[in-house]
A and B are shown apart, each in its own frame.
Chain A
Amino acid sequence: MCGIVGLYLKNPDLQGKLGELFCPMLVEMTERGPDSAGIATYHETAGTGSKVTLYHADRHFDWEDLVEEAERDLGVSLELRRISTHAILGAKDAATDLRGWAERNRPDVRIMSSGHSLEIFKEVGLPARVLEQFGIKGMHGTHAIGHTRMATESAVTTEGAHPFNTGDDLCLVHNGSLSNHHLWRDWLEKNAGITFQTENDSEVAAAYLTWRLREGASLSEALEAALKDLDGFYTFAVGTSDGFSVVRDPISCKHAIMAETDDWVAMATEYRALARLPGVKEARVWEPKPATVYSWGRA
Chain B
Amino acid sequence: MQTLDLDRIDVRTANQQLHDGAGGDNEYEILNPMGRHAIAVGLDGPFEVAVRGHAGYYCGSMNKQANVTIEGNAGVGVAENIMSGRVHVKGYASQSAAATGHGGLVVIDGDASARCGISMKGVDIVVGGSVGHMSAFMAQFGHLVVCGDAGADLGDSIYEAKLFVRGSVESLGADCIEKEMKPEHLETLRGLLEQAGIDADPKEFRRYGSARQLYNFKIGNIGYY
Contact = CB atoms under 8 A, between A and B. Distances in A.
B34 A272 contact: yes
A257 B76 CA distance: 11
Contacts of B114: 252, 290
A71 interface: no
Contacts of A276: 34
Contacts of A286: 92
Interface string A236-280: 000000000000000010010100000000000011111110000
Contact of B56 (A252, A271, A287, A290): A271
B170 to A, nearest CB: 11
A287 B35 contact: no
A272 B75 CA distance: 10
B108 to A, nearest CB: 13
Q: How many interface residues does chain A have, given as a range?
A: 10 to 19
Contacts of B73: 271, 285
B54 A270 contact: no
B92 A275 contact: no
Contacts of B57: 270
Contact of A287 (B34, B37, B113, B133): B113
Contacts of B91: 285
B36 interface: yes
Interface of A: 252, 255, 257, 270-276, 285-287, 289-290
Contacts of A290: 114, 132-133
Interface in B68-122: 73, 75-76, 91-92, 94-95, 113-114
A289 B132 CA distance: 9
Contacts of B92: 286-287
B94 A255 contact: yes
Interface string B45-77: 000000000101100000000000000010110
A195 B73 CA distance: 44
A271 B133 contact: no
Given A255-B76, A287-B92, A290-B133, A271 B35 contact: yes
Main SS of the interface on chain A?
loop
B35 A274 contact: yes
Chain B, interface size category, equals: 10 to 19
A289 B149 CA distance: 14
Contacts of A274: 35
Nearest to A273: B35
A274 B76 CA distance: 16
11 contacts: A252-B132, A255-B76, A255-B95, A271-B56, A271-B75, A272-B35, A272-B36, A275-B54, A276-B34, A285-B54, A285-B73
Contacts of B37: 272
Nearest to A280: B54
A211 to B, nearest CB: 30
A279 to B, nearest CB: 14
A246 B91 CA distance: 23
A285 B53 CA distance: 12
Nearest to A28: B35
Nearest to A285: B73
Interface string B109-141: 000011000000000000000001100000000
B30 to A, nearest CB: 14
The 10 closest A-B pairs by CB, nearest first: A272-B35, A271-B35, A275-B34, A275-B35, A287-B113, A271-B54, A272-B56, A287-B94, A252-B114, A272-B34
Nearest to A290: B133
A285 B72 CA distance: 10
A275 B75 CA distance: 13
Nearest to B91: A285
